[in-house]
Structure 1
Amino acid sequence: MLREIDHIEIEASDGEEMAEFLKKLGYEELRQTEHHGTSYELQPGDGDGPIFEIHTVEGEEVPGINHIAFAVEDIEDATENLKNQDIDQVSDPYHVEKTGRTITNFRDPDGRRFQIVSDED
């Protein structure tokens, strides 16, 4: 069902500063979006590994990992499978215009948020 990790979203006290830090470690910027204000998507320089999606904390958010997202081929089927497995708080799939991804959110037993994502429309 789940494939590789698609991305890890990190909420930083300063998103731009965090993006620059990752660049010093060899990450390359894929794009900036207007998701969560300004969001930076970076991938390892060799392209092998998950994307980090970075944005500056807003409101009541605190710096840290917001969620880990796994790629899936068929998000409708994968979502139904999560629901059938009695996973907590499985949302219905929805499209996020600003990132071009369709996502389903769900929670682990301790309440941490995870996602499954598809770049397919």
Structure 2
Amino acid sequence: MIGEIDHIEIEASDATEMAEFLKKLGYEELRRTEHHGQSFELEPADGEGPIFEIHTVDGEEVPGINHIAFAVDDIEGFTEDIEEKEIDSIVGPYHVDKTGRTITNFRDPDGRRFQVVSDDEDE
């Protein structure tokens, strides 16, 4: 079963500048990683709400929302379920060392990317 929104990834013209903007709005830096060069993860100060993952655009990317990720308890089971339902463009599950998460990506009918994540620390 799909869970709450885990994070929303935003591709920014300047990740550092975007992270500082979100801090002015009351977000706090959760962590920095080398994912996509340099990535910032920020969460609301009260801990209520999704994390924003921010990185600087690269190559053919454009500024905007890259994807919305939902938390799941059983990523393998969820991936098998959407495969059976013939959801488009499924990639995963696979582990991302830099973030410590296992993820599966898939596309909606218009081609937008969605993601489900399992935090390896929770396993």
What range is the shorter-chain TM-score in?
A: over 0.9
**For residue 21 of structure 2, what is the amino acid of its counterpart?**
F
Gaps of 5+ in 1: none
2:86 is matched with which residue?
86
CA shift, 1:92, in A, is 2.4
1:89 and 1:50 mapped to 2: Cα distance? Answer: 24
User: RMSD between aligned alpha carbons?
Assistant: 0.7
Relative to the length of structure 1, the TM-score reads 0.98
Alpha-carbon distance in 2 for matches of 1:29, 1:7: 13
What is residue 31 of structure 2 aligned with on the other side? 31
Q: 1:107 deviation in Å? A: 0.1
Residue identity matched to 2:95: H
More strand by share: 2
Partner of 1:107: 107
Report 1:1-121 matches (<5 A): 1-120=1-120
Structure 2: gaps (5+ residues): none
Residue 86 of structure 1 deviates from its aligned partner by: 1.2
Q: How many residues align?
A: 121
Structure 1 runs of 4+ with >3 Å offset: none
